[in-house]
Amino acid sequence: MKVFSLIWFALCASKQMMLVASQQGPNFIIMQPDDLPFYDEWFPPIEADGDTGSGFPDEGLPGLTFLRENGLELKQAYTTSSACGTSRFSTMTGRYPARSGRSRSINQNEPTPSVVSIETVKLMDIPGYPDCSSDNMAAVLQSNGYRTGMVGKWHLSRNVGDSYQDAVDKVQECGFSFADAVYHENMQDADDGTWHEGRSHNLEWITYEAIDFIKASDQQFLLYLNPTVPHSPNVADALELDCSLTLDPTFNLPNPPNIEGMTNDLTCEEYRQTLFDRVGCTGPDDCSNRERQTLGAYWFDDSVKAIIQALEDSDNLDNTFFLFQMDHGRIGKNTNWEIGTRVASFVHYPPFGSGTLDVPTSVIDIAATVFELAGISSHYALDGESWVDVANGDSSAEMYFRNERCLSLNT
């Protein structure tokens, strides 16, 4: 069944970026968990109350709190489309999902504009639209000397083949020199064989591969890091999977990897039990809906803490633009309501200092902002605009973003 999302169109012409080259830009981490709630503490609250609401977990989320309190909180951040793949297309390209080559090729003979859906919006090369091989953030950075990596959920390809390596190759075609812990779900037409059996939600493996990428990089890097939690299948059920079956697609790892800041010398089973202990339920059958939600939040935040520690250990924390953002609103998914389109977003990048960026921003702005910080220009037209000047205190840029900028129109 197709999951239809919003159709978004630009009202204002894209601003042509004229970027001044720098000697060396920062590293970049773009981290998008799947269906994380918008917590009430991230003012102003927009989610619903009740058992499936968004009250902050009792033990807090120290990883996300570190990013929020020591970086910029984007207080008016929005997605272009309130579904997973369509939102991620805009993150990767800096363009509206209706502009994807696949969407336009499907609808080229129709009198109506391009339909935006999970199925129609993919990062694929279509004649006249080199979205995968050329016109995206990873491909641009890769061609400018960056080491590029993708770990976790992809959701932007079709026809990935019959093996795990086929899935990795498909991701690498789109500008990535490294891809691993690729989540098999959402990869259309993947084989149903044992290569992906039992790997729904394996955040330890995703985090391990992300850290390995960070520590192995001897040059500037871009890491597109996509934890699969807390999206269904049910996190509580996933936590009970046999860890020995979930760590490597070839079943070659003799032991679960140790992740500082996450597993901390515990076995996979021992670590996952600590998550149940922290929320106060013994297993999936004993967890309320609220406790299941909290399980996913704790699991994800442990990954954030481990990534921060890896950046510190490799002396990269101060030179890394680390952006966390929701892919879309969870309760309002697939709607054009505020609870579907507004997202929480925090950026830790020491040159920006800490505080808030209280102007309207969009996921289409990420690529433009990254390119400006990297000191390179895009060879293809972007719908988004860099907010670097706003973050650096430029009052005229702030007034433009606050009062004049036209984000989009949904119909």
Domain ranges of the chain: 33-405
> Is residue 96 within 8 Å of 9, Cβ to Cβ?
yes
Say whether 146 sits in a helix, a strand or coil: coil
pLDDT at 181: 84
pLDDT per residue as tens digits for the range 272-304? 899 999 999 887 788 888 888 888 899 999 999
322: left (phi over 0), alpha (psi -120 to 50) or beta: beta
pLDDT at 2: 40
Instruction: Output the average pLDDT for the chain.
Output: 80
As given in the structure block, the two tokens for residue 351 are 């040159």
DSSP state letter for 19: P
On the 0-12 / 13-18 / 19+ scale of CB atoms within 10 A, 375 is: middle
Q: Ranked by mean pLDDT, which of 121-130, 192-201, 392-401 comes out on top?
A: 392-401
* Element spanning 9, H or E: strand 8-9
Asked if pLDDT for residue 45 goes beyond 90, the answer is: no
* Element spanning 92, H or E: helix 84-93
Asked if pLDDT for residue 182 goes beyond 80, the answer is: yes
Across residues 385-403, what is the average pLDDT? 94
Asked if pLDDT for residue 380 goes beyond 70, the answer is: yes
Is the preceding omega at residue 230 within 30 degrees of 0, hence cis? yes
Across residues 383-401, what is the average pLDDT? 94
pLDDT per residue as tens digits for the range 334-374? 677 777 778 999 999 999 999 999 999 999 999 999 999 99
Asked if pLDDT for residue 132 goes beyond 70, the answer is: yes
One-letter identity of residue 277:
D
> Is residue 74 within 8 Å of 361, Cβ to Cβ?
yes
> Is residue 11 within 8 Å of 204, Cβ to Cβ?
no
As given in the structure block, the two tokens for residue 216 are 């192995």
Q: Given CATH 1.10.1740.10, say whether it is the number of domain 33-405.
A: no
Dist CA 92 CA 103 (whole Å): 16
One-letter identity of residue 318:
D
Prediction pTM value: 0.87
Beta bridge partners of 323: 30, 347
pLDDT per residue as tens digits for the range 71-120? 999 999 888 876 677 888 999 999 988 888 787 777 766 656 667 767 77
> Is residue 120 within 8 Å of 102, Cβ to Cβ?
yes
Dist CA 26 CA 3 (whole Å): 36
Dist CA 263 CA 235 (whole Å): 17
| Cβ-based neighbour number of residue 355 at 10 Å | 12
pLDDT at 326: 86
Asked if pLDDT for residue 207 goes beyond 70, the answer is: yes
Measured at the CA of 284, the angle between CA 281 and CA 286, to 5 degrees, comes to: 45
Q: Looking at 160-288, list the stretches that DSSP marks H as alpha helix, in order from N- to C-terminal side.
A: 164-172, 203-216, 235-239, 268-279
> Is residue 246 within 8 Å of 199, Cβ to Cβ?
yes
